Chains A and B, each alone.
Chain A
Amino acid sequence: MHQEIDINELRELLKKLKVEALENVEIEGDVEVELELPTGINNSLSYALGQELAQIAAHLLNISQFLGYPGWSLSERKELDGGQVPVEAQQIPATLVEEEFSVGHITEWKNKIEEVTLGATSSDGGTRKHTVTIGGESALPYYFDAPMPNPNRVTLDVFDMPIQLAKTVRVNYEDVMHDPGEWAKKAVKEFGADMITIHLISTDPSIKDTSPAEASKTVEEVLQAVDVPIVIGGSGNPQKDPDVLEKAAEVAEGERCLLASASFNLDYVKIGEVAKKYNHVVLAWTQIDLNSQKELNRKLMKQCGLERDQIVIDPTTAALGYGLDYAYTNMERIRIAGLMGDDELSFPISSGTTNAWGAREAWMVSSPLEDDSDWGPREFRGPLWEIITGLTLALAGCDLFMMMHPTSVQVLKELTNTLFGSVKGNDTEISDWITRLVS
């Protein structure tokens, strides 16, 4: 577009080629020859050099073109003694073009994601003071195509016995770990949990082998301690979980709990039937596989007779750096398919965001690799890992987050609420950001 050749450079070039055209020309001062492309206006040049010199320069320019500088034309020579408008002013428009920008909505998103309510108040046969409704979207999350009817929600993990937790997490719960009721209360009152997940891990035969009846006492305890809806989780033992969840569902009849989880590696039919019988919702869990998610959802509806508003799906959360790419894309595809009309996938989505704590970046004291830059304190890394894992999935369409660290909950909520539209005001002035940041 625009090249500069110092006239002295040109002279040097010419010398090398034994061209003597410039020998008897005096050039005073530092003169820049401006070469314009593609229009090749040499006005400024001639103006600056005076006409005679400009002719020589023109000659030089031809030679320099021959030497490999890009081509231009001297077709506007006739204007040499005219206008003398500096080149910039000629090329630069006097005013901005005035145009409006607009963009359309996505027309393929015709389907609505199912709306699911968790928890039941006394008018619906439960004892919860609040219920939580998730889903109901008609667009990708926070998009301008359609308002998002329900905000994202967070359910905090509570275990039925003290367990090993990453230190950064543990310090927040140390005082209540022996008492699931107190633990749940703290999570709701101090850490802003919308819901509580009670994990009945002591029922695992290789841990304590607590009986289903005994374990369900903990469920009652938690139901009494807090008035938010709850999620009931087993130990992850596929043989025992169906029995554990059955008993728990029975004692919590009518509370519309989320039963975690029905999956293909255990007796999901039983879990579906139990949910139907005692009026709960099932978490349908598959491992980062859209097709098996479809199949499981289909079976829960057809085989167990669950209503559409009794299913929440968990397509699996892999942590940042540990497969989040799969988890993100899987969720995004599921949500888009749901919006475009696939009714086997149009359900609210839940994420085991806590998985983020499995990433070594979240819990290790420092990098095991010498070549890595300093990782900084793990107290800062852990919560951020959970936040970023969660927010990425929020953008893919995740509605409910199972989380652990109070700071993570706070920051993730701040972001999702902001994007949702419930955080008003806050007009930070940014026009002068370049100069305002000083340290």
Chain B
Amino acid sequence: MKVKSPLDVNQLLPKTNCGECGEPTCMAFASKLINRDAKLEDCIPLVKEDEEGYNKLAELLAPEVKEITIGVGERAVKIGGDDVLYRHQLTFFNPTALFYDVWDTMDMDELKERVSEIENFRKFYVGEFLTLDGIAIRSVSGDPEKFKETVKKVVEITDLPLVLCSFEPNVLKAGMEAASDRNPLIYGANKENWKEVLELAMKYDVPVTLCSFGDLNLLKSMAITFRNAGVEKLVLDPGTFPSGEKLRETFHNFLKLRRGAILEGQKEIAYPLMGVPATAWLVYEDELSASYWEAVLASLLIVKYGDILILHGTQPHSLLAEVHIRETIYTDPRTPVQVEAGIREIGEPDENSPVFVTTNFALTYYTVESDISSNGIDCYLAVVNTDGIGVEAAVAGGQLTAQKIKEILDEFDFSKLSHRTVVIPGLAARLQGELEDLTGLKVFVGPLDSGRIPGWMEKNWPPEK
């Protein structure tokens, strides 16, 4: 990272504390810029009056690794843009984009089904859905017309960003004709075809992947050649060898390229990196082994510096693991994971609805909340401030006590209910007696996992009078 302190940034701001950016001081704005919570353009005086300062700052604040956009519109994805080698040093930006493949020898129904499977995959997590990012279209036939048709079809049925995969320039050309308005990523230029691919990237002004499997000298040479020709939207694929010594080398290549870019400021190779875990399917014949190994390769490259991946397996277990490991690595370590404490209404609770107790750890809260609401259960949810600690650890650590639950329930008007009961998490069972004593309420111990609340309700709700 070039800038370490807001002081450096402040130096180049107008330093008038005029407040036009929405921040009280230039220094505050500078901190936000460093955290990428604000845009330089928001400092209007700078934009208007100090072109030189603006340019200097823009340069200073530009991420070490180039940021590139694939696709258009709402579903477009950005990749790259990182400034650090370890997430605790700031955060990683632009989660690894996960592209799953289709190919031009699929029949149309198969193609449609697979595209919609990729497009519609969703996994709930902490208040949002984890999804997949795009489609990689492979030319297996080598026939430009066939490829063009497949691309056309995919363009017709989805807005997802695309990667067009072939090493045949004619095929890529045909594909580009069908997707020219979608800003796809071309894959890929190699030692043989680079001239034609360069020409294509120029013609359509789209991002392009440079492929040099296992040879970083060539990769760098291509990157420089392309950049000299004015093509700068580059993605680098150093090759994903799926096993053995070459896999170890693959790992090293990712490390080297990213270290060169971030630590040594080697601009020539400071581009997003592509991994192709799909190569796992070249090693393993049976579906389970291949899908496991693909998830393993994907995780390896998500943890260490892959910015975009092309994958082949869409087995649910692999997809779940892949979206979760990506979320793990790209979650912003700077933001707290708590929600506000208080009593919430979920759905449309009435006098017969239950009162559930939980903690304000975001993961706990959203899990419980979604388990309840997605099952159409109307209720009150009493969220206790446990300093963002989950149920079991908070009971063990003393942040979730009978006294604290009482305090939050004191805010609640039980007279509007037909019952005087609350339900505590199964993992907080040991608080039951004390809570009854403190509140005079009947305290039920719910299931261990909130996913089982619906089943629990069937058996236990409404409570016997």
Contacts and interface: CB of A to CB of B under 8 A. Distances in A.
B122 A372 contact: yes
B299 interface: yes
Interface in A385-419: 385, 387-388, 391-392, 395, 407, 411, 415, 418-419
Contact of B328 (A104, A328, A360): A328
B251 A419 contact: yes
A323, A369, A419: which has the most chain B beta carbons within 10 Å? Answer: A369
A320 to B, nearest CB: 5
A63 to B, nearest CB: 23
B325 A423 contact: no
A371 B321 contact: no
B286 to A, nearest CB: 12
B282 A371 contact: no
Contacts of A103: 256-257, 259-260, 264, 266
A324 B304 CA distance: 15
Given A92-B198, A101-B216, A438-B103, A387 B316 contact: no
A433 B363 CA distance: 39
Contacts of B105: 438
B244 to A, nearest CB: 3
B245 A435 contact: no
Nearest to B280: A428
B243 A423 contact: yes
Interface residues of B, number: 107
A332, A372, A385: which has the most chain B beta carbons within 10 Å? Answer: A372
Interface in B39-58: none
A143 B85 CA distance: 13
B244 A426 contact: yes
Contact of A428 (B216, B241, B327, B333): B241
A103, A287, A367, A418: which has the most chain B beta carbons within 10 Å? Answer: A103
Interface string B164-205: 011100000000000000000001000100110011001111
Given A369-B374, A434-B140, A360 B449 contact: yes
Contacts of B452: 368
Contacts of B240: 430
Interface string B124-157: 1100010000000011101000000000000000
Given A328-B328, A368-B375, A387-B296, A91 B220 contact: no
Contact of B374 (A144, A371, A375, A392): A371
B29 interface: no
A149 interface: no
Contact of A388 (B120, B140, B255, B296): B296
19 contacts: A99-B221, A101-B217, A143-B255, A322-B363, A328-B328, A332-B86, A368-B454, A369-B370, A371-B129, A374-B316, A381-B321, A384-B292, A384-B295, A395-B303, A420-B248, A426-B246, A428-B279, A428-B283, A434-B166
Interface of A: 1-2, 88, 91-93, 96-101, 103-104, 142-144, 287, 320-325, 328-329, 332-333, 336, 360-361, 364, 367-377, 380-381, 383-385, 387-388, 391-392, 395, 407, 411, 415, 418-421, 423-431, 433-438
